[in-house]
A and B are shown apart, each in its own frame.
Chain A
């Protein structure tokens, strides 16, 4: 069965520091990978996605992620975070031929002044 593992449930970081949120998925022949962000009391919105091509994907709000097939990882990074980045971040995967997304358990990013 497909699965997604987000290794950190919470990540505290100071404002303007860099951050990496880790995501690993179970191996498959072909996958699509996503990061979604959820601000308090809101639904999820797409941050970025990897479908094919370049393994470095840039998203909204200065975030980027790198697809590493050999390590089955899709870690999310930002070089300098803002207070407004405080939110929960979800990694998700879909497999070719299936539209249902499998989500990780989420990482709560807490940006402190």
Chain B
């Protein structure tokens, strides 16, 4: 099973450029989310979605957009990259059955903004 797949794994951007981090899951999970990981700060929730067509903001949403047109895909868009967005980004999903919050993670996308 592929699980949660993120692309690209590495990306370097210049300030002001835009890009999209892709996330796809093949487990038919309703819930998908994006986190960023920074040293000493753990993982912080950017945006999440409880199903196709439904998205909401997390703890640190500024500078990021998301959409959820299908159950499988949850792309994260940076419209105008800033050096403060240099980070490792993780996509995660969980099943709609139960409400335990157990997440399945992708391998991460390392983004550097110059």
**Within 8 Å of chain A (Cβ to Cβ): is B58?**
yes
Q: Which residues of A contact B44 (CB under 8 A)?
A: 103
Contact A90 B107 (CB under 8 A): no
Contact A99 B42 (CB under 8 A): no
Contact A105 B100 (CB under 8 A): no
**Within 8 Å of chain B (Cβ to Cβ): is A17?**
no
Q: Which residues of B contact A43 (CB under 8 A)?
A: 4, 90, 105-108
Residue of A with least CB distance to B31:
A99
Contact B40 A49 (CB under 8 A): no
Interface Cβ pair total, 8 Å cutoff: 62
Contact A99 B99 (CB under 8 A): yes
* A105 and B45 alpha carbons, distance in the complex (Å): 13
Known: A44-B103, A99-B101, A100-B101. 7 other contacts (CB 8 A): A43-B90, A43-B105, A43-B108, A46-B103, A101-B45, A101-B101, A104-B42
Contact B105 A45 (CB under 8 A): yes
Q: Assess A46 versus B106: contact at CB under 8 Å? Given A100-B45, A100-B48, A105-B42.
A: no
**Within 8 Å of chain A (Cβ to Cβ): is B71?**
no
**Within 8 Å of chain B (Cβ to Cβ): is A63?**
no
Q: Which residues of B contact A44 (CB under 8 A)?
A: 43, 90, 92, 103, 105
Q: Which of B43, B94, B107 lies in contact with A99, CB distance below 8 A?
A: B94
Q: Which residues of A contact B102 (CB under 8 A)?
A: 34, 46, 49
* A50 and B43 alpha carbons, distance in the complex (Å): 20
What mask results when residues 82 to 98 of chain A are scored 1 for a CB within 8 Å of chain B, else 0?
A: 00000000101010111
